[in-house]
């Protein structure tokens, strides 16, 4: 058994098998129904395995103009929601023979990442909410793109029913008898965040309630932001008895702030988050939330992108993925004081 100092190429395999290089290419990569005699095919395959041949994807990509790689751009890897999306996407991608190039947009701008990905000739790019807004069609050229959770964009999109998520949260709190309900979320955010807020406000309005403007607090969509927002709410004279948080990180921050301030949850304050990340089950009390199927969204985005690449068709699956209320321990009936 020889130790090949250099990676074996199709030429090496050809020499080993006593055929020409194109024949090797035909056997090993071309349509499996290519017209090659069975005996030849076997010889080639044996020679290839003997030499440990492994195709050079760069060379292949150069001529086919395909890299069998997908780019995934997320705004923040530390947000577990996105790692779930990535995880779902990667599973599908790998099964279909694609590699995944991951970009955390915190480092450089999303546009820079997209440029880098295009340079590597990725066959397509999955852009997660928050990364998509900035980009113009111009900057991605003719690269295939699927956007997650930003349905306003001009690309095919996979999104959850964010408005319904907000409504569900609002209705739950109303049914529990709450009348003074707050909202914590960022001022300018993704389409998804805006729709969650909108659905929530709609649910209140349908019940004949309104939300006081100072109960609608603008905070960053993070644990720290949620904590700050809840502190502010608790210090108000007309403090709310319940709060819908734009995502679970904010909800967890809000919960922490309540506990630190000695406000029992859910007895004195009901909190509803959104996403259902693993942390929601880990905090005590466990966070009531609206589940967004992150992993499935990632998987669906990858499937959509791949079918777009391979069949050159854009199914544009515009159906919104359903969301689901997960009642846990941070919600309870409103405490009637008097």
Secondary structure (3-state) at 123: coil
Q: Is 32 in the site for a second copy (CB under 8 A)?
A: no
Q: Is 143 in the site for DNA (CB under 7 A)?
A: no
Q: Show the tokens assigned to 222.
A: 């993070």
Give the residue from 45, 7, 12 showing the smallest Cα distance to 26: 45
Q: Is 208 exposed, middle or buried (0-12, 13-18, 19+ CB in 10 A)?
A: exposed
The structure tokens 């700050």 sit at: 228
- Total residues at the site for DNA (CB under 7 A)? 30
* CA angle, 327 then 331 then 333, to 5°: 120
Q: Is 78 in the site for a second copy (CB under 8 A)?
A: yes
- Total residues at the site for a second copy (CB under 8 A)? 49
Q: Is 70 exposed, middle or buried (0-12, 13-18, 19+ CB in 10 A)?
A: buried
CA–CA dist 128, 158 (Å, integer): 10
Q: Is 109 in the site for a second copy (CB under 8 A)?
A: no
CA–CA dist 98, 306 (Å, integer): 9
By C-beta, is 4 or 315 nearer to DNA?
4
CA–CA dist 155, 111 (Å, integer): 16
* CA distances from residue 176 to 6, 172, 184, 236, 241 in whole angstroms, order as listed: 70, 6, 19, 22, 11
CA–CA dist 153, 43 (Å, integer): 52
Among the listed ranges 40-48, 84-92, 266-274, 320-328, the one in contact with a second copy (CB under 8 A) is 84-92
Q: Is 29 in the site for a second copy (CB under 8 A)?
A: no
Least gap, CB of 21 to DNA (angstroms)? 5
By C-beta, is 54 or 210 nearer to a second copy?
54
Q: Is 19 in the site for DNA (CB under 7 A)?
A: yes
The structure tokens 């995944």 sit at: 100
Contacts of a second copy in 221-280 (CB under 8 A) = 223, 252, 255-256, 259, 278-279
CB burial string 75-103: b at 16+ within 10 A, e below: bbeebbbbbbbbebbbebbeebebebbeb
Q: Is 135 in the site for a second copy (CB under 8 A)?
A: no
Q: Is 62 in the site for a second copy (CB under 8 A)?
A: yes
Which residue in 25, 131, 153, 241 binds DNA (CB under 7 A)?
Answer: 25
Q: Is 29 in the site for DNA (CB under 7 A)?
A: yes
N-terminal to C-terminal alpha carbon distance within the chain: 88
CA–CA dist 273, 212 (Å, integer): 20
Q: Is 141 in the site for a second copy (CB under 8 A)?
A: yes
Least gap, CB of 144 to a second copy (angstroms)? 14
Neighbours of 135 (CB within 10 A): 21
Q: Which does 99 bind (CB under 5 to 8 A by kind): a second copy, DNA, none?
A: a second copy
Q: Which does 86 bind (CB under 5 to 8 A by kind): DNA, a second copy, none?
A: a second copy
By C-beta, is 16 or 164 nearer to DNA?
16
- Contact between 156 and 304 under an 8 Å Cβ cutoff? The reply is yes
Q: Is 282 in the site for DNA (CB under 7 A)?
A: no
Q: Which does 37 bind (CB under 5 to 8 A by kind): DNA, a second copy, none?
A: DNA
Among the listed ranges 39-47, 81-89, 202-210, 265-273, the one in contact with DNA (CB under 7 A) is 39-47
Site string for DNA, 50-89 (x = CB under 7 A): ---x-xx--xx-xxxx------------------------
Summarize as ranges the residues that interact with a second copy (CB under 8 A).
7, 54-59, 61-62, 67, 69, 77-78, 80, 83-84, 86-87, 90-91, 94-95, 99-104, 107-108, 113, 115-121, 141, 223, 252, 255-256, 259, 278-279, 282-284
């Amino acid at each position: 058994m020889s130790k090949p100092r250099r990676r074996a190429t199709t030429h090496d395999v050809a020499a080993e098998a006593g055929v020409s290089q194109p024949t090797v290419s035909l056997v090993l990569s071309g349509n499996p129904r290519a017209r090659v005699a069975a005996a030849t095919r076997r010889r080639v395959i044996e020679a290839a395995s003997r030499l440990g041949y492994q195709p050079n994807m760069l060379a292949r990509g150069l001529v086919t103009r395909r890299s069998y790689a997908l780019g995934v751009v997320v705004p923040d890897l530390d947000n577990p929601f996105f790692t779930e999306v990535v995880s779902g996407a990667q599973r599908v991608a790998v099964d279909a023979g694609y590699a995944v190039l991951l970009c955390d947009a915190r480092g450089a701008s999303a546009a820079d990442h997209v440029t880098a990905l295009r340079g590597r000739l990725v066959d397509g790019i999955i852009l997660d909410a928050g990364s998509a807004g900035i980009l113009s069609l111009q900057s991605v050229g003719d690269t295939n793109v699927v956007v997650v959770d930003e349905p306003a964009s001009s690309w095919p999109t996979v999104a959850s029913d964010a408005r319904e998520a907000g409504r569900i949260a609002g209705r739950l709190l109303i049914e529990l008898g709450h009348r003074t309900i707050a909202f914590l979320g960022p001022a300018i955010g993704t389409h998804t965040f805006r729709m969650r807020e909108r659905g929530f406000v709609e649910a209140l309005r349908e019940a004949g309630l309104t939300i006081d403007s100072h109960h609608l607090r603008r905070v960053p969509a993070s644990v720290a932001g949620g904590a700050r927002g809840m502190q502010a709410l608790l210090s108000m004279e007309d403090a709310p008895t319940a709060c819908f948080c734009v995502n679970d990180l904010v909800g967890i921050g809000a919960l922490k702030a309540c506990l630190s301030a000695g406000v029992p949850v859910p007895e004195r304050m009901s909190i509803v988050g959104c996403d259902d990340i693993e942390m929601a089950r880990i905090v005590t009390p466990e966070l009531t939330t609206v589940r967004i199927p992150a992993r499935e969204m990632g998987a669906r985005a990858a499937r959509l992108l791949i079918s777009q690449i391979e069949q050159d068709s854009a199914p544009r699956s515009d159906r919104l993925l359903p969301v689901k209320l997960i009642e846990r321990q941070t919600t309870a009936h409103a405490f009637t004081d008097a």
